[in-house]
Amino acid sequence: MITTGTARSGRRAAGIAILGTGSCLPSHVVGNDEVAAATGVTDEWIHRKTGIRARRRAKPDEATSDLAVAAGRAAMEAAGITAADLSLIVVATSTPDQPQPPTASVVADGLGAGRGAAAFDVNAVCSGFVFALNAAEHVLAAADSPYALVIGADVYSRILDPTDRRTAILFGDGAGAVVLGPARPGRGLLASRLAGFGAERDLIEVPAGGSRLPASEQTLAEGRHFFTMNGRGVRDFVDATVTPAIGAFLRDAGLEPGAVDHFVPHQANGRMLEDLSARLGIPAHRMRLTYEDFGNTGAASVPVTLDRAARRGELADGDLVLLAGFGGGMAMGLSLLRWQHP
């Protein structure tokens, strides 16, 4: 069952599995030299601090929904279904096309899902995909059709201050998607835990543009519409909260860290992930990583990384996979599954 806060989660009878994955990364590659020039640092400094060498940027005419549609199509093709088979489309994003309607509605129309499939957005920032995955799983249990499409997509380049070295060096644009459907015995989603830590919400935020600080000449002049992040505070949050929570999640599931075949974390920062793996006792070679090539793609980072691992043939039938999203909110989402090979 899904749990929130500090409540415990347990194993569930497997009934829903990931049947296919897909991703979409914009074609425009932005190397460290280009980012460094605007932020006053160097390529060497960026790589030493983050492990990142490049990130992707959406074209001026590309929005979050465009990347989400492409990733969704790739996932459906891998799963062998069409949009007409879907009962549900969930898009996790904190960079929607516009405040209303939900980006998922735009995606549903772009995919040709017709009038039947429910569509909604989830905003849990970088944890969003895992939150959306768990929401879709439970909605799907009562749906008419056995298939759902879950997408994590973000275009952070539209909300970054290009001169802010705390954020501009880290983030890229992208989308990743999975199709959920019936699991074979012994396969599929096993356990999950969702948690929120609202008292620390100001570690990551976009201050203006909502009902508290509506857009105005003053908010624009003050740069209040840019994404801001307290990097040291985020790292302390991961060390003090996320790391022990993952350990407790595995213990509650009756597992040692060494039992995890594939650890797919949010691609926040390479150096942070190295420390996280060491603290958890999960061997580094079992981490699936994409940050070096794509940077931090927000809600897309977990599904993009999962898709790369799947398409490279790294995930064998029956492998134990741990997904971990964490970030703005502050929030954390964990999911454990037995991989079901098509």
Q: State the catalytic residues.
A: 126, 266, 296
Cα 194 to Cα 135, 272, 281, 302: the distances in Å are: 10, 21, 22, 15
Burial 204-242 (b: 16+ CB within 10 A, else e): bebbbeeeeeeeeeeeeeeebbbbbbebeebbebbeebb
CA 240 to the chain's CA centroid: 21
Number of neighbouring beta carbons within 10 Å of residue 48 = 11
Nearest to 137 by CA among 99, 80, 74, 194: 194
Q: In a 10 Å sphere around its CB, with 0-12 CB exposed, 13-18 middle and 19+ buried, how is residue 313 labelled?
A: exposed
Tokens 């039992």 belong to residue: 259
Burial 144-172 (b: 16+ CB within 10 A, else e): eebbbbbbbbbbbbebbbeebbebbbbbb
Q: In a 10 Å sphere around its CB, with 0-12 CB exposed, 13-18 middle and 19+ buried, how is residue 284 labelled?
A: exposed
In a 13 Å sphere around the CA of 60, the CA atoms on its Cβ side amount to: 0
| Strand intervals (E) in the chain | 16-24, 28-31, 54-57, 86-92, 118-122, 147-155, 173-182, 188-196, 204-205, 228-229, 262-265, 320-327, 331-338
